């Protein structure tokens, strides 16, 4: 697939409120975000003929279609965890490229915070591979799985806790510039290292937030994008890949499928790493950002610790990363992928106020889902 300015993202937004929203369900946060993103695009709900969503319910796209009164020609509930929505960009672009639909909505809503407050808990199927071979050992949540991956990277390459903390600190600096971010107090490396342990080597502040939020994006053809409200953000390249589902099956803890999804996205886009003005990378944990930057080729294997040192990814740094404040400090309802897209589009449109990256023209978004399992990469640009 070659997509040279054939497909564009023309609308993005969150739900009306994000953060702690106990009176909302995942579906109604998703619905608000879809309405808001369509308003942002200046596209009528009746024009939507492609629906892409994941995880808000079983048969997610079917339920969301019913809820929103949409009867799509293309339906896609592809569920790859937090990377789902970035992978949906590729699926939506392919569908639009093939003429199967013209106005695609990618949507998500999730109430991770309020689920926890309501005492809702994930069920574990004890006969599934994970239920038999990981859950009995206390491996049923993301933190210990990602933590083991980080430990291996530290062992092989000497990556330090301070270097991981650099990412949390840089991300917080961006959040301090984003009025919608939940965590906006200044943060130091020492603060990160002094926060309580979750799962070695992760302290609390190495881990993403758990919030309630919805988000959506509107993707359409170049022809339709000519008459939307705002300038189109072109989808230049995309890639998707997965290597395993549960952490004990991960081929190598020190790189992810972002190697494959990134390589394909860069090749399709025909741009180099040095041309990327900013990255929005799913930061479930500090290590996720480090290993993803390496896997995407921004630095070599094992060089991620040195790469993120000296606040390289912070405001004013050489490579702005997670300019919204990310899942670490802005919001993170459970599957963050959609919010990487929203922020990249806003940056490329120049809508980001205090946190605006000057002259941002090309952005990379990357989502990781599962236990470093499935990744999607997209390269977006404005004229």
Partner 1 sequence: MADYHKPLPTPIPDTQPFWDAARRHELLVPFCLDCQRHFFYPRRLCPHCLGERIEWRKASGRGRVYSFTVQYRAAHPAFAADVPFVSAVVELDEGVRLATNLVDVEPDPAKLRCDMPVEVVFDDVTPEVTLPKFRPVAEVER
Site of interaction with partner 1 (CB under 8 A): 124, 126-127, 129, 131-141, 143-144, 147-149, 151-152, 155-156, 196-201, 246-249, 253
Rounded Cα–Cα distance for residues 51 and 41 (Å): 16
Q: Between 69 and 119, whose beta carbon lies closer to partner 1?
A: 119
Smallest separation, CB 131 to partner 1 (Å): 6
Nearer to partner 1, 1 or 204 (CB): 204
The 3-state DSSP class for residue 375 equals strand
Q: How far is the CB of 147 from partner 1 (least distance, A)?
A: 4
Distances (CA, A) of 342 to 82, 135, 235, 350, 383: 14, 34, 13, 12, 18
Residue 321 main-chain phi, psi, to 5 deg: -130, 130
Q: How far is the CB of 276 from partner 1 (least distance, A)?
A: 30
Distance (Å, rounded) from C-alpha 148 to C-alpha 251?
Answer: 13
Q: Give the shortest CB-242-to-partner 1 separation in angstroms.
A: 14
CB of residue 296 to partner 1, shortest distance in Å: 22
Q: How far apart are CA 106 and CA 96, in angstroms?
A: 13
Toward partner 1, which CB reaches closer, 245 or 329? 245
Report the distance separating Cα 292 and Cα 285, nearest Å. Answer: 11
Q: DSSP letters of 211-255?
A: -EEEEEEEEEEHHHHTTSSS--EEEEEEEEEE--SSGGG-S-TT-
Question: Nearer to partner 1 by C-beta: 140 or 382?
Answer: 140
Q: Which of 113, 146, 282, 287 is catalytic?
A: 282
CB of residue 54 to partner 1, shortest distance in Å: 22
Give the whole-angstrom CA distance, residue 320 versus residue 313. 5
Q: Please give the Cα distance from 281 to 49 (Å, whole number).
A: 29
Which residue among the candidates 113, 146, 287, 330 is catalytic per the annotation? 330
Q: Is 200 known to be catalytic?
A: no
Which 3-state string (H, E, C) describes 84-148? HHHHHHHHHHHHHHCCCCCEEEEEEEEEHHHHHHCCCCCCCCCCCHHHHHCHHHCCCCHHHHHHH
Sequence-ordered list of residues with C-beta below 8 angstroms from that of 364, at least 6 positions apart, any chain: 262, 265, 276, 278, 279, 280, 281, 296, 344, 377, 378, 379, 380
Placement of tokens 């590729």 in the chain: 90
φ/ψ bin of 132: left (φ > 0), alpha (ψ from -120 to 50), beta (otherwise): alpha
**Would residue 157 show up in a list of annotated catalytic residues for this protein?**
no
Q: Which residues are the active-site residues?
A: 282, 330
């Amino acid at each position: 697939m070659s997509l040279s300015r054939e497909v564009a993202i023309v609308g993005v937004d969150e739900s009306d409120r994000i953060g702690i929203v106990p009176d909302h369900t995942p579906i109604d946060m998703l619905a608000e975000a879809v309405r808001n993103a369509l308003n942002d695009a200046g596209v009528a709900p009746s024009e939507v003929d492609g629906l892409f969503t994941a995880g808000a319910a079983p048969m997610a796209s079917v339920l969301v279609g019913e809820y929103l009164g949409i009867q799509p020609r293309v339906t896609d509930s592809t569920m790859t965890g937090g990377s789902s929505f970035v992978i949906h960009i590729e699926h939506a672009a392919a569908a639009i490229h093939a003429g199967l639909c013209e106005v695609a909505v990618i949507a998500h809503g999730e109430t991770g915070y309020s689920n926890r407050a309501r005492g809702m808990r994930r069920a574990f199927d004890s006969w599934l591979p994970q239920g038999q071979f990981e859950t009995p050992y206390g491996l049923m949540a993301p933190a210990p799985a990602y933590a083991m991956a980080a430990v291996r990277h530290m062992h092989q390459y000497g990556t330090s806790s301070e270097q991981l903390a650099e990412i949390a600190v840089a991300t917080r600096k961006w959040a301090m510039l984003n009025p919608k971010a939940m965590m906006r107090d200044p943060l130091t490396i020492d603060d990160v290292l002094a926060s309580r342990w979750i799962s070695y080597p992760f302290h609390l502040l190495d881990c993403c937030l758990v919030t309630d939020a919805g988000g959506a994006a509107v993707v359409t053809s170049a022809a339709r994008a000519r008459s939307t409200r705002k300038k189109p953000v072109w989808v230049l390249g995309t890639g998707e890949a997965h290597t395993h589902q549960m952490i004990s099956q991960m081929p190598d803890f020190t790189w992810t499928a972002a190697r494959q999804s990134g390589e394909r996205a860069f090749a399709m886009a025909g741009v180099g790493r040095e041309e990327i003005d900013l990255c929005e990378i799913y930061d479930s944990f500090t290590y996720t950002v480090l290993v993803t930057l390496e896997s995407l080729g921004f630095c070599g294997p094992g060089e991620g610790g040195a790469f993120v040192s000296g606040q390289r990814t912070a405001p004013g740094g050489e490579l702005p990363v997670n300019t919204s404040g990310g899942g670490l400090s802005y919001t993170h309802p459970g599957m963050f992928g959609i919010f990487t897209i929203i922020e990249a589009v806003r940056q490329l449109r120049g809508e980001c106020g205090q946190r605006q990256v000057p002259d941002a023209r090309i952005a990379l978004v990357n989502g990781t889902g599962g236990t470093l399992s499935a990744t999607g990469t997209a390269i977006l640009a404005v004229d």
